[in-house]
Structure 1
Amino acid sequence: MAKKVKEYRIHDQPVEDISVLEPEATYSYADYLKWSFEERVELIKGKLFKMSPAPGRGHQAINGNIHGVMWNFLRKKSCKLFAAPFDVRFPQKIDSTNRETFTVVQPDICVICDPEKLDDAGCKGAPDLIVEILSPSTSKKDLNDKFYLYEEFKVKEYWVVYPGDKVLEIFYLEQGKYSRSKKYLPGDLVISEVLSGLSLNVNDIFEGT
């Protein structure tokens, strides 16, 4: 028997109040574009995920430290660097319409080397590298839902930052799976295969936190 999809009311006008959305419904990117409420959200497989409120000082410091090093490294290179809020859509097919696209996320940091994936709305397709900085409210999503999402769509490197432990873990895609990972501790030099030649010490990631 085919799985019954929960019906929901399609809003033709902009939605200004998140409370009118149905948590169990399946939404598309076309729906997402109509939402004008203040809360930041992501869609994963059509399911609504609220993002954490404004990141704290430590999160901001880590984000700025990584972004600064990557920005300097990528200057005059073809790969482009972006930070949230920046929409990354994961369509099942390259020609999927907005109504046929059910996943849009806002990674803390992402690197995109294929200019064909960039458009005015953000990125359509998998970035080459994604960084997520864990927080108590997002750790489950980042370590489970997003882990398998990024693996499915073949993000080459997935960086997960653990602020409390001052640890960076990188998952490297091999034969379509994150079958290899490495944890980098304070004092370690980070090895990126996407950003070959990048010089980054873990101590620099957590400076100012």
Structure 2
Amino acid sequence: MATPYKVKESRIDDISLLEPEATYSYADYLKWTFEERVELIKGRLFKMSPAPRRTHQEIAGAIFTEVHHFLKTKNCRVYHAPFDVRFPSNQGDKDNQTFTVVQPDICVVCDPAKLDDAGCKGAPDLVVEILSPTTASKDLNEKYHLYEEHGVKEYWVVYPGENVLEIYELIDRKYISRGKFVREDQVRSNVLKGLVLNLEDVFEEVS
């Protein structure tokens, strides 16, 4: 049985006041003013990695720039972390009924009704996560199942150390890998029709 969250201060500026095994809601999350970045997945608290490494930022910047340029004349919007994506069980759930909020490295949202001043409420159409030593397990397990469950149509996973990008496509509510693509490849999105990404450009600054 989940441990109830007992700390009820209006603002919490020290992460040590949190109870690691407790269950938290998005309403709790909004009270936290400490510097550390965290995510909630089904009420569980996950610390995010410290400042990303340079290669992470180079790859994220390259992908974001290409996608942003591609979407300039289209209705979809692309965002990069920190950008809150909430996954309520039901679209009408209030903040204290929502127990998942994550910050994908990059996400694309094509339904403007999901966007508000706080970020995105509901599944983006495409999510990109760039693995790091401290987040790889979460990205390949908890987030993989989270995005699959809530209907993110494409999930791109980047392996910086290997210069590899893997694409998972949602088919019949399950992710199917379209393959792992290497530096010499071009990748195409089935969600963003017409988007072509040269991985040589994405991994250009990675030694």
Per the normalisation by structure 1, the TM-score is 0.97
**Which residue matches 1:164?**
161
1:203 aligned residue (200, 204, 207): 200
Cα separation, 2, equivalents of 1:172 and 1:116: 23
Determine if contact 1:189/1:201 at 8 Å carries over to the other structure.
yes
**Which residue matches 1:184?**
181
Instruction: Write the letter of the residue equivalent to 1:21.
Output: L
Count residues with an aligned counterpart: 206
Determine if contact 2:66/2:197 at 8 Å carries over to the other structure.
yes
Per the normalisation by structure 2, the TM-score is 0.97
> Secondary structure in 2 aligned to 1:200?
strand
**Which residue matches 1:12?**
9
RMSD: 0.8
- Give the superposition deviation at 1:5: 2.7
Determine if contact 2:164/2:182 at 8 Å carries over to the other structure.
yes
Q: Note the 1:101-116 alignment, pairs <5 A.
A: 101-116=98-113
**Which residue matches 1:75?**
72
Determine if contact 1:174/1:180 at 8 Å carries over to the other structure.
no
Determine if contact 1:128/1:155 at 8 Å carries over to the other structure.
yes
- In the alignment, is residue 131 of structure 1 matched against residue 128 of structure 2? yes
- Give the superposition deviation at 1:126: 0.1
1:90 aligned residue (76, 87, 92): 87
Cα separation, 2, equivalents of 1:40 and 1:5: 23
Cα deviation digits, residues 115-135 of structure 1 (max 9, x gap)? 000001000000000000000
**Which residue matches 1:42?**
39
Structure 1 stretches of 4+ moved >3 Å: none
Determine if contact 2:189/2:196 at 8 Å carries over to the other structure.
no
- In structure 1, the gaps of 5 or more residues are none
Cα separation, 1, equivalents of 2:71 and 2:15: 38
Instruction: Write the letter of the residue equivalent to 2:75.
Output: S
Cα separation, 2, equivalents of 1:183 and 1:8: 41
> Secondary structure in 1 aligned to 2:23?
coil
